[in-house]
Chain A
Amino acid sequence: MKKMMKKTFCGAFALAIACGAFGCASPNDIGNSNTQIQVDEKRTQLYVFNFDGGYGAEWMSTAIAEYEKLHAEDVYEEGKVGVQIIPTHTKKTREGAEILSNREEVYFTEAVQYYQSINDGAFADITDIVVKANVYEQEKTIESKMTQEQKDYFGYKKDGKTIYYGIPHYSGAFGLVYDIDLFDEKGFYFKDGYNPSDALEEHFIYDVNDKKSAGPDGVKDTSDDGLPATYTEFIELCDYISSIGLTPICWSGANYSGYISMLYNQLVVNDAGLEDSLMMYSMEGTADKLGVVNENGEFVRDANPTTITADNAYELYRHESKYKALEFLRKIIKTEKYLNETAFTNTHEHTTAQDDFLWSGKDGMTKSMAMLADGVWWQSEANETFKAMGTQMAAWSKENRNLGWMPLPKAEQKDQKNVYFDHLYSMCFVKKNIASWKLPLAVDFIQFVHTDENLKMFTKTTNTPKAYNYEMNASDLAELTPFGRSVLEYKQNADVLYPFSSQAKFLNNQSMFTAGEGYKATIDKNDVIYPSMTLHEKNVSAKTYFEGMYTYYKKAWGTLR
């Protein structure tokens, strides 16, 4: 009897789950962006690959719909009228042979080892549509929207000719998002002309009559007024925020190793400035901020500058900014009160961190969090939270929530532009073995996507910039979220750093220079990948890690091709 009961119960429970699972999917399920598209035999198909990360698939769907409409009557192959673009939205990137063996013909993706893939013969030559006028907009070329640095990198030199096998795609950077409303409400802004020796709370504005400091850009009456300009100020800000019981910074525990190493990278380049940062990739120039750390943990610059060449570029791992940023990051990582409780918890995903940040102080349970460490693309990932919050209160929606992209502080106040580090190696290209009759169609679609109009459409959809120069007028900007506007403004005023060059040693060893994994070190004879993880897990000083980086890269340089 008991056995029967047991079996009946199990059966009933399984049945209930199965029925429920099949039949009761709730109405507001998150849709899958990769719904299966039936091939329309009456139209010509073009297969497009879209890396479906933080930037999502919506922009691509919009572009496809418009392109298909525009060419509904065109004939590309006999017996067929119009074009059908079939996208593949996926989070898996592809390389070399994988590109050639899959059906996708046009790619919009990231993390591409460009020169390696050229050597693998994966890309088709698309020079014509890059350098000639775009058929969809008069007199403008795609090349004209690129910086010289981008032209040098994407323009592959062979037999005195420049060949474009690919062009830039989106423009991603990592950093800190801050809650402007919370900053305004609590007065988390430095007071103009505060006395550093005063009590901590005296450093910050108290009411509307207090004037904010000039902020990181050193110029008054700009959007960064009152924000911390130096590492010291940033630490003071964190102390101040935590002293009133709030959490200064939130990040994802499941992703912190990669994410916070990218934050470190951003801190380094922001402090070093464009010129010194580019030297890492071009491997030429004179470095005058190299040095060693003495027993007291102080950085001592070399007496003489070092001429950097491809043979000794590892010397740049002795750069002052790398050490100062390490000291700063270590302080943050090691101070529990600065961080969310789950900053190192392996189940705390990036979406949960975004959720925590957005809901903090508004869910009736938690206290506010002031900043979130994430990439410029994060808003698309947090769509569900924005939606849910927007239904609670209109001011909490994505369109209305007052969030900003924070200019990162520098080691000391200096008259130097901020750096926007576009580190994703994102690209658009056509695969080499596309059918020759189809290549014109593929490149035509690329031209279409790269008109000013569609570049703007991308920005309005994702609230992030594309890696091109194009004007967004006031009405365009009005369509962005406050955060999107903040990113664009930041990028406009910053030096944009593309982490590449035409230096052979860089091109042949590109994987060594990624933002997340470009700061390896040898610590206690062990090679470690992430500064964030090492500083958190090991009892390692900034000096030890700094010296470990030099040891690692000096040895590794000997093995580079």
Chain B
Amino acid sequence: MKMKSGTIGQVPTINQKKSRGSKSRFTLLTVLMLVVLIVYSLSLFALFFYGFITAFKCGKVGTLEYRLEYYPGNLYGLPKTWYWNFGFVFKNFVVEGTDPMGVGAPVKVGMVQMFGNSILYSLGCSFCNTFVMCLTAYGCARFPYKFSKIIHTTVIIVMIVPIVGNAPAELEMAIRFGLYNQIWGMWIMRANFLGMYFLVFYDIFKSLPTAYTEAAKIDGAGNWAILFRVIFPLIANTFLTVLLITFITSWNDYQIPFLYLPSYPTVAYGLFTVVNSKIKGMETTPMRLAAAIIMLIPILIVFLCTQKRLLGNLTVGGVKG
């Protein structure tokens, strides 16, 4: 269960909230909770730390160093000698994709291309998805036609009516429309308005005072000018946040590329292949974790640079039919 959201609300910062802190802060329960939270945080760090140090142990199967530095000599301790496995990983982290034309030899996709595929896939999908949701929500919230109500209800129904096992049909449809095995095809498939962020945008548009648009209309602005010059700047912050969240989700997703993009493996899909199959020279844990660290770094940077935005802008609300 990953980031889900519903009704919009601005989250007060911690400083703002401090005023609410109860006077009797240190009860036995809170101390206990603090301890649990510290242990939990440490467990998370421990795992990352484990991944990090293991990625720096010798990962070349066959060598004596591998046996001394990783298996069976040193499975959990700090590296005795720090090895730079990343160069090897970059060279040998090669995933076999099918030929895009379907006739040639399997294509060998290296890390640079996988990163390229990831960026194209994630940026395109997140932008198409966010833009279409935002636009549809705008239409529904600001134009009180009956159809708007239908769309709004549809989103809620789709969210709570579980449809199981339609992946084959979706695949077949993608093949039929020529979208299968095309990154742009994925953009089109993701350009829909379904999902919780529709409701986020919907609530924002609903809560925006009409005064802005009325004023713009009086000044002679058309609907397009209002949309792009008045509305978008007002909701740019939320738009960027949703874009960021959908970008991270797409970047991390390996299952859709696994099913739909056999010729264009992304980094996430590549990592899935590395940890679950026997790519020559990459079968050892240090090499596999070095590949994982390479994939982790960009997303960590994005997170650390944008954590305030990610943590502060959206909240989860209820689904009211």
Residues of A in contact with B (beta carbons under 8 Å apart): 6-7, 10-11, 13-14, 17, 20-26, 29-30, 32, 34, 36, 47, 86, 88, 90-92, 101-104, 347, 349-352, 355-356, 359, 363, 365-366, 382-389, 392
State in angstroms the CA–CA spacing of A480 and B283 once bound together.
28
State in angstroms the CA–CA spacing of A388 and B65 once bound together.
10
- Is B212's beta carbon under 8 Å from chain A? no
User: Separation in Å of the B93 CB from the closest CB of chain A?
Assistant: 9
State in angstroms the CA–CA spacing of A388 and B63 once bound together.
5
Do A88 and B106 touch (CB < 8 A)?
A: yes
User: Separation in Å of the B184 CB from the closest CB of chain A?
Assistant: 23
Which of the 9-residue segments B3-11, B27-35, B94-102, B144-152 touches chain A? B94-102
B87 contacts across to A, CB distance below 8 A: 20-26
Nearest neighbor of A17 in chain B, beta-carbon distance = B86
User: Separation in Å of the A454 CB from the closest CB of chain B?
Assistant: 23
C-beta contact mask, B284-319 vs A, less than 8 Å → 1, else 0?
110000000110011011001100000000000000
Check A21/B111 contact, CB under 8 A, given A32-B280, A351-B61.
yes
State in angstroms the CA–CA spacing of A193 and B129 once bound together.
80
Nearest neighbor of B308 in chain A, beta-carbon distance = A3
Check A365/B283 contact, CB under 8 A, given A11-B301, A21-B86, A26-B88.
no
Show 14 A/B contacts (Cβ-Cβ < 8 Å), sorted by A: A17-B297, A20-B84, A20-B87, A22-B87, A25-B88, A86-B105, A90-B105, A90-B106, A104-B105, A351-B278, A355-B66, A365-B68, A384-B62, A388-B63
- Residue of B84, B92, B281, B297 touching A24 (CB-CB under 8 A): B84
- Is B215's beta carbon under 8 Å from chain A? no
B301 contacts across to A, CB distance below 8 A: 7, 10-11, 14
Check A32/B283 contact, CB under 8 A, given A10-B300, A102-B103, A349-B278.
no
User: Separation in Å of the A20 CB from the closest CB of chain B?
Assistant: 5
User: Separation in Å of the A88 CB from the closest CB of chain B?
Assistant: 4
Do B61 and A13 touch (CB < 8 A)?
A: no
User: Separation in Å of the B215 CB from the closest CB of chain A?
Assistant: 38
Nearest neighbor of A102 in chain B, beta-carbon distance = B103
- Residue of B61, B86, B294, B305 touching A385 (CB-CB under 8 A): B61
B305 contacts across to A, CB distance below 8 A: 7, 10
Do A102 and B108 touch (CB < 8 A)?
A: no
Do B92 and A29 touch (CB < 8 A)?
A: yes
- Is B157's beta carbon under 8 Å from chain A? no
- Is B57's beta carbon under 8 Å from chain A? no
Nearest neighbor of A359 in chain B, beta-carbon distance = B67
State in angstroms the CA–CA spacing of A13 and B300 once bound together.
11
- Residue of A88, A355, A384 touching B105 (CB-CB under 8 A): A88
State in angstroms the CA–CA spacing of A11 and B94 once bound together.
25
Check A392/B104 contact, CB under 8 A, given A14-B297, A20-B86.
no
Do A355 and B61 touch (CB < 8 A)?
A: yes
Do B72 and A384 touch (CB < 8 A)?
A: no
State in angstroms the CA–CA spacing of A101 and B304 once bound together.
47
User: Separation in Å of the A359 CB from the closest CB of chain B?
Assistant: 6
User: Separation in Å of the A559 CB from the closest CB of chain B?
Assistant: 23
User: Separation in Å of the B113 CB from the closest CB of chain A?
Assistant: 13
B39 contacts across to A, CB distance below 8 A: none
Nearest neighbor of B282 in chain A, beta-carbon distance = A30
Considering the complex of A and B, which 9 residue pairs feature the smallest CB-CB distances, nearest first? A384-B62, A21-B90, A385-B62, A30-B281, A88-B105, A24-B87, A25-B87, A349-B283, A25-B91
- Is B73's beta carbon under 8 Å from chain A? yes
Nearest neighbor of A363 in chain B, beta-carbon distance = B67
Check A32/B94 contact, CB under 8 A, given A21-B89, A21-B294, A103-B104.
yes
- Is B64's beta carbon under 8 Å from chain A? yes
State in angstroms the CA–CA spacing of A386 and B61 once bound together.
11
- Residue of B64, B66, B300, B304 touching A392 (CB-CB under 8 A): B64
State in angstroms the CA–CA spacing of A88 and B61 once bound together.
25
Residues of B in contact with A (beta carbons under 8 Å apart): 60-64, 66-68, 71-73, 84, 86-92, 94, 96, 99, 102-106, 108, 111, 278, 280-281, 283-285, 293-294, 297-298, 300-301, 304-305
Given A20-B84, A388-B63, 16 new contacts (CB under 8 A): A17-B297, A20-B86, A24-B84, A30-B280, A86-B105, A88-B106, A92-B96, A102-B105, A103-B99, A349-B283, A352-B284, A363-B67, A383-B62, A384-B63, A388-B62, A388-B64
User: Separation in Å of the A345 CB from the closest CB of chain B?
Assistant: 10
Do B108 and A17 touch (CB < 8 A)?
A: no
- Residue of B63, B283, B298 touching A351 (CB-CB under 8 A): B283
Nearest neighbor of B300 in chain A, beta-carbon distance = A10
- Residue of B71, B284, B294 touching A17 (CB-CB under 8 A): B294
User: Separation in Å of the A217 CB from the closest CB of chain B?
Assistant: 35
A350 contacts across to B, CB distance below 8 A: 278
State in angstroms the CA–CA spacing of A522 and B298 once bound together.
49
State in angstroms the CA–CA spacing of A383 and B280 once bound together.
11
A90 contacts across to B, CB distance below 8 A: 96, 105-106
B293 contacts across to A, CB distance below 8 A: 17
A387 contacts across to B, CB distance below 8 A: 62
Do A365 and B304 touch (CB < 8 A)?
A: no
User: Separation in Å of the A471 CB from the closest CB of chain B?
Assistant: 34
Nearest neighbor of A35 in chain B, beta-carbon distance = B108
Do B92 and A30 touch (CB < 8 A)?
A: yes
A17 contacts across to B, CB distance below 8 A: 86, 293-294, 297
A21 contacts across to B, CB distance below 8 A: 86-87, 89-90, 111, 294
State in angstroms the CA–CA spacing of A103 and B111 once bound together.
25
Residue with the greatest number of chain B CB neighbours at <10 A, chosen from A13, A30, A36, A102:
A30
Residue with the greatest number of chain B CB neighbours at <10 A, chosen from A6, A17, A349:
A17
A29 contacts across to B, CB distance below 8 A: 88, 91-92, 281
State in angstroms the CA–CA spacing of A251 and B98 once bound together.
32
User: Separation in Å of the A488 CB from the closest CB of chain B?
Assistant: 25
State in angstroms the CA–CA spacing of A104 and B94 once bound together.
21
B108 contacts across to A, CB distance below 8 A: 32, 34, 36
State in angstroms the CA–CA spacing of A347 and B300 once bound together.
26
State in angstroms the CA–CA spacing of A47 and B281 once bound together.
27
A86 contacts across to B, CB distance below 8 A: 105
State in angstroms the CA–CA spacing of A181 and B261 once bound together.
51
State in angstroms the CA–CA spacing of A103 and B105 once bound together.
7
State in angstroms the CA–CA spacing of A359 and B66 once bound together.
11
A101 contacts across to B, CB distance below 8 A: 102-103
Do A22 and B90 touch (CB < 8 A)?
A: yes
B91 contacts across to A, CB distance below 8 A: 25, 29
Residue with the greatest number of chain B CB neighbours at <10 A, chosen from A21, A25, A350, A356:
A21
A104 contacts across to B, CB distance below 8 A: 105
State in angstroms the CA–CA spacing of A486 and B294 once bound together.
44
State in angstroms the CA–CA spacing of A90 and B105 once bound together.
9
User: Separation in Å of the A48 CB from the closest CB of chain B?
Assistant: 10
B66 contacts across to A, CB distance below 8 A: 355
State in angstroms the CA–CA spacing of A17 and B297 once bound together.
9
Nearest neighbor of B110 in chain A, beta-carbon distance = A32
Do B297 and A32 touch (CB < 8 A)?
A: no
Nearest neighbor of A13 in chain B, beta-carbon distance = B297
A23 contacts across to B, CB distance below 8 A: 87
User: Separation in Å of the A180 CB from the closest CB of chain B?
Assistant: 21
B106 contacts across to A, CB distance below 8 A: 88, 90, 92
User: Separation in Å of the B309 CB from the closest CB of chain A?
Assistant: 13
A32 contacts across to B, CB distance below 8 A: 92, 94, 108, 280
B73 contacts across to A, CB distance below 8 A: 363, 365
State in angstroms the CA–CA spacing of A392 and B280 once bound together.
23
